[in-house]
Amino acid sequence: MCNLYSMTRARDAIRKLFGAKRDRTGNEPPRPAIFPDQLAPVVRRDHDGVRVIEPMRWGFPPPPNLGSRPVTNIRNTASPYWRGWLKPAFRCLVPATSFCEYDERHARRPTWFALGPDRPPFAFAGLWRPWTGVRKGESGEHRLFAFLTTEANDIVRPVHARAMPVILTEEAWDTWLAAETPAALGLQRPFAAERMIVVATGARQDPGSASAGTISD
C-alpha cells in the first residue's frame, strides 16, 4: 500500500505538462513528502471538459462499519463501493515524481521509486469525490481523492510484494480521464519495471528534491 509520495516539479511546469487550462492550486510549493489526509494537486476534467488542477485531500471515507481511517488506495474496482465513482466525471490524475514503499526486509525502511534519477513527472490513476464532513479539523465540503493499485512489478515486488500504484504516463492520460469504464480499467496493470529505478532509501521524504523542507497542508 502506497501511503507516501512526492511531487517536486514546479507548479507552472505541472500545469503545462498536464494541459490544465484552469489552476486553482494557489502558490503550491514542491512537495518532497505527501502523506494521507494532506492536500495535494489533482488534475480532473471540469464540467465543460477542460482540465483543471486543484488541491484535494488524500483519502476517501471508508465503507460503512470499517472504522474511520481514510482509504488512500483502491484495488478492488469491482466493489459496489467504488463502482459509482468510476465514471469519467470522477476520474482524475494525481501528479507525482516518486513514491515510497516500506521494505519489511529491512525494518520497514522507506524505499523511493521513480521513473529516472531526475524524477520525471508521471500520474497515478485516481478517483475523486465531493464529501461533506470533518477532515483535519475543518467542517464542510471537501474534495477527496484516492488512487488505484495493482500487482507489484519486478522492481517493487522485493520491497512490497502485495501491490503498487497504477502509474500512467502522458500517452495514457486521455484514456483514463475520458474513456468508457472498461477501457479505462484496462490501465489497471503494473508499470514496466525496466522504466523504473530505486532513487533513495531510508528517508520519509524524497531527498532528491533540493527544495525539501516543511510539509504544509
Share of the chain above pLDDT 90, in %: 81
Give Cα separations from 6 to 34, 78, 207 (angstroms). Answer: 6, 28, 10
| Rounded Cα gap, residues 126 and 170, in angstroms | 14
Q: What is the pLDDT of residues 46-102, one digit of tens each?
A: 999 999 999 999 999 988 877 788 999 999 999 999 999 999 999 999 999 999 999
- Which segment of 10-24, 65-79, 148-162 scores lowest on mean pLDDT? 65-79
Q: What are phi and psi of 90, to 5 degrees?
A: -115, 10
Checking if the pLDDT of 209 tops 80, the result is no
Structure confidence at residue 116 as a pLDDT band (50, 70, 90): very high
Share of the chain above pLDDT 70, in %: 95
Q: What is the pLDDT of residues 182-201, one digit of tens each?
A: 999 999 999 999 999 999 99
Task: Identify the bridge partners of residue 14 per DSSP, sorted by sequence position.
Answer: none
Task: Identify the bridge partners of residue 54 per DSSP, sorted by sequence position.
Answer: 42
Structure confidence at residue 212 as a pLDDT band (50, 70, 90): very low
pLDDT for position 208: 83
Mean pLDDT of 175-184: 97
pLDDT for position 214: 33
Q: How far is CA 128 from the centre of its chain?
A: 11
Q: What is the pLDDT of residues 18-56, one digit of tens each?
A: 999 999 998 878 899 999 999 999 999 999 999 999 999
SS3 103: strand
SS3 208: coil
Give me 110's grid cell. Answer: 522507506
Structure confidence at residue 213 as a pLDDT band (50, 70, 90): very low
Unique residue bearing C-alpha cell 505538462: 17
Checking if the pLDDT of 131 tops 80, the result is yes
Q: Share the mean pLDDT of the chain.
A: 92
| Rounded Cα gap, residues 27 and 42, in angstroms | 14
What is the third-level CATH fold of 5-201?
hypothetical protein yedk fold (3.90.1680)
Residue 72 exposed, middle or buried by CB count within 10 Å (0-12, 13-18, 19+): buried
Please give the DSSP secondary-structure letter assigned to residue 9.
Answer: S
pTM metric for this prediction:
0.94
Please give the DSSP secondary-structure letter assigned to residue 166.
Answer: -
pLDDT for position 181: 97
Checking if the pLDDT of 9 tops 60, the result is yes
Cα angle vertex 80, ends 50, 46, to 5°?
A: 10
| Rounded Cα gap, residues 213 and 210, in angstroms | 9
pLDDT for position 63: 84
Q: What are phi and psi of 144, to 5 degrees?
A: -120, 155
Pairing assessment for the beta strands 51-58 and 138-150 based on DSSP bridges: parallel
